[in-house]
């Protein structure tokens, strides 16, 4: 089971810009943007009038391929998680020592301990940031690889089903373009199911329930230098 700290790295890492990914995949980032690949003719000749919405970010995570690859990345990051936890524990131990023994130490000893804490704290902060950057790069690579295959498929789906406009709802309003949209126009699940059928990647194995899952020790508290961030979506959309 992935610990809170591993999920922290993953959630902080996932800062994927869907617009940037769409551009790299050859999809127009906005209605006025010109597509430069085979997707452009498909969009240009579309005659449908239906309006649909798709949560691209959620769809990427919900595909069988996405679940498989992001879970593999999470496991790959576990050694770094352990390393950062050890660094954090060392800093916290030194802080505790300063709090409990500080008044008993002479000025020189206390100053040395304070300096040691500051140096290790800075080292921890750098390590956390480096880990975040590395995780983000690897996570973005997975997302872009999936989107490059999902993009043309989504354009063809829109043409085959009479859609004139499909809007990405990955970012909620006011950061995104959609103020409100009903579930009847959401095609995210259909896109995920179509992608899974074309990719041939099997669904991930069902994880044990709480009743059958082996007991594990409580997850360690994340380092204070790594602020919490929203957990990325990992389940299929409604």
Domain boundaries, the chain: 4-199
φ/ψ region of 162 (left if φ > 0, alpha if ψ in -120 to 50, else beta) reads left
* Structure-token match 């997707």, residue found: 39
Choice between 7 and 181, residue whose per-residue pLDDT is larger:
181
Average pLDDT over residues 100-121: 90
Both tokens of residue 214?
């082996």
Residue 50: what pLDDT? 93
Average pLDDT over residues 93-120: 90
Choice between 38 and 93, residue whose per-residue pLDDT is larger:
93
Choice between 178 and 215, residue whose per-residue pLDDT is larger:
178
Query: Where would I find the beta strands (DSSP E) of the chain?
Result: 50-54, 163-168
Ramachandran angles phi, psi of 25, nearest 5° = -85, -5
Q: Is the pLDDT of residue 140 over 60?
A: yes
- For residues 238, 195, 14, 142, the Cα torsion angle rounded to the nearest 10 degrees is 160
Q: How confident is the model at residue 101 (pLDDT cuts 50, 70, 90)?
A: confident
Residue 86: what pLDDT? 96
Mean pLDDT highest for which of 34-38, 176-180, 232-236?
Answer: 176-180
Beta-carbon count within 10 A of 140 CB: 17
């Amino acid at each position: 089971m992935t610990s809170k700290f591993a999920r922290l790295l993953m959630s902080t890492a996932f800062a994927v810009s869907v617009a940037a990914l769409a551009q790299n995949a050859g999809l127009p980032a906005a209605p006025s943007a010109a597509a430069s690949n085979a997707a452009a003719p498909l969009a240009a000749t579309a005659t449908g009038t239906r309006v649909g919405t798709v949560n691209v970010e959620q769809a990427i995570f919900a595909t069988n391929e996405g679940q498989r690859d992001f879970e593999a990345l999470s496991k790959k990051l576990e050694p770094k998680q352990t390393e950062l936890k050890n660094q954090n524990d060392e800093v916290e131990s030194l802080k505790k020592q300063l709090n409990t023994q500080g008044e008993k130490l002479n000025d020189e000893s206390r100053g040395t301990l304070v300096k040691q804490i500051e140096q290790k704290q800075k080292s921890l902060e750098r390590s956390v940031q480096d880990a975040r950057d590395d995780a983000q790069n690897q996570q973005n690579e997975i997302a872009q690889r999936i989107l490059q295959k999902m993009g043309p498929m989504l354009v063809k789906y829109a043409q085959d089903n009479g859609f004139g406009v499909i809007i990405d709802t990955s970012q909620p309003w006011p950061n995104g373009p959609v103020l409100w949209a009903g579930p009847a126009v959401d095609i995210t699940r259909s896109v995920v199911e179509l992608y899974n059928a074309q990719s041939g990647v099997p669904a991930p194995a069902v994880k044990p329930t709480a009743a059958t899952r082996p007991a594990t020790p409580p997850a360690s508290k994340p380092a204070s230098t790594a602020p919490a961030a929203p957990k990325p979506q990992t389940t299929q959309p409604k």
